[in-house]
Structure 1
């Protein structure tokens, strides 16, 4: 059934936004609807108070939701009108979005919208099937359209980032408050919770990639995880860093929009992403990465891109729980 009114477009956008990616699947957003305008708000109660004290990862997550809203509105036949960070006195109000002039969605928009519910985060190695260079260049151009940059790392830099990730994971696993914060978002088998990382969404054992990229220990002291996730998955994939020229709240929001645009386009070509944020949660390591490998640009996300045949489990909260 076609969508014909702005109200229908708003409802479609809300349904789509809940599928956006977020750190540990915290889904740190809420929405307020006034007429045909959506207010995107940061749910600060879901911020990682130890791992993300400044709210950088929270705003990146919300930026991904913002791009999803934009895409759904455009798919519904309207041009989205966005006011980002509209009120300095209400810092949790991140954007106001409404359907604008009517427009026919192009093929690119239809393809992206079709991947919103299909896209999944991967948490292990990839198959050895290559990601085409032409697609990688296209994904980098896509990030640029949203005001960010996607840096594709050469082999020596990949080794360095893998080593930094392993070091950060070791240190963080010994930091009890930080580690317990991660475990809080791990879901045991059979859990009815609609947020966090389900037990079937990560490998039981450490991924065997070369070089090795450390994964979060969601199954800490538990026999959880997917034992089959390792089969044939040994490639680290294409290792990239999403960067921005600045490091303000506006930049973080833009990074999230760029991230989701890249992820949806990659998904349309059968390419998944695995994220590694440990290094970026430690200021001195993030500064090292910026100066030594990112040419002074601010790293916002480290992600590996590759091909997998695993269908990872995921959960999302219903729209009713997101409205405020």
Structure 2
């Protein structure tokens, strides 16, 4: 039998492996425009997650809300990967008020054998994709929506499917209005264009040409997507015959609107996305109306029971095999 020293060495090596696996997984988290606005540092057996201010959207996300939601998704990915490696993570969120860019620290705690649900979620980390068009005309099972809502609740947020056709139409109209206003604002347009990648681009961030449709795919009611191609003949050719369904519109909300709750919303979002992906569902995001204060407040009071809307999404079925890109570890690990 191995002696106590050997057992201790094996435990340290196992923890280091879990740390490396967690950081590798976290780079696959979703982020607004695939900006990947995070960095990680490792000290001993502790991972620090920091916001990268150079990747903040200074026009559409002046408060940093979407940046912190993105980083919250990375934090949930760290937690899931570490659990899959056999450790219960010990997490501290916003541990130092004097260092606002330090969003969380995480280290391996007690050993814990991962159950099947954790393995299921971890298996979707690299497979999950954001959808940017209509969905196939196939229903998302109600019991899956219920499980997704429970997943969000477990992370401190609320996922509410919008069942009223009138409410869906209102959200679509608000999205259209915000998109129309932003399209007329040169600052918004230039900021978004920065993250749309042309065919053949070697950049490992932003939205690659195969990740967005060449022509707008209209749904009924219409939920416009970002125009990443911007007057260019870029993007993938969507199948107009089978990919025009709205899917299930859902609102992700939190009771308050603090930095902590933005991070919670990101963790809830990634939990929902990984669970949905495991059962064949994808999500399309619509943040246009949430980037305009008056429209976000209208949503909050009229459709969110005074909770703060953090994400508008559509959930549905798609058979697209999209490309996704991520920066190498050498660029994100300090």
Question: For this structure pair, what is the TM-score category when the shorter chain's length is used for normalisation?
Answer: over 0.9
The CA RMSD measured in Å over matched residues stands at 0.9
Measured in 1, the distance between the counterparts of 2:226 and 2:142 equals 29
Q: Are 1:112 and 2:121 matched, yes or no?
A: yes
- Could you give the per-residue CA deviations for residues 50-80 of structure 1, whole angstroms, max 9, x where no partner exists? 0000000000000000000000000000000
Q: Map 1:99-138 to 2 at 5 A.
A: 99-138=108-147
1:309 lines up with 2:309 in the alignment: no
Pick the aligned partner of 2:264 from 254, 270, 283.
Answer: 254
One of 304, 314, 333 as aligned partner of 1:323: 333
**TM-score normalised over the length of structure 1:** 0.98
| Contact 1:202/1:229 (8 A) holds in 2 | no
Counterpart of 2:103 in structure 1 is 94
In 1, the alpha carbon distance for the partners of 2:51 and 2:241 equals: 38
Match of 1:64 in 2: 73
| Structure 2: gaps (5+ residues) | 1-11
- Show CA shifts across 1:266-316 (max 9, x none): 000000000000000000000000000000000000000000000111100
- Determine helix, strand or coil for the equivalent of 1:261: helix
Per the alignment, residue 228 of structure 1 pairs with 238
Of 148, 154, 166, the match for 1:156 = 166
Distance 2:97 2:241 in 1: 50
SS in structure 2 of the partner of residue 74 of structure 1: helix
Quote the Cα distance in structure 2 between the aligned partners of 1:43 and 1:229.
37
Equivalent pair of 1:120/1:272 in contact (CA under 8 Å): yes
**1:1-324 mapped onto 2 (5 Å cutoff):** 5-154=14-163, 155-324=165-334
TM-score, with length taken from structure 2: 0.95
Higher Rg: 2
Q: What is the aligned residue count? A: 322
Aligned counterparts of 1:230 and 1:248: Cα–Cα separation in 2: 41
Distance across 1 between alignment mates of 2:71 and 2:63: 14
Structure 1: where are the runs of 5+ without partners? Answer: none
> 1:221: Cα distance to partner?
1.5
Q: CA deviation at 1:231?
A: 4.2
On the 8 A contact 2:217/2:238 being kept in 1, the answer is no
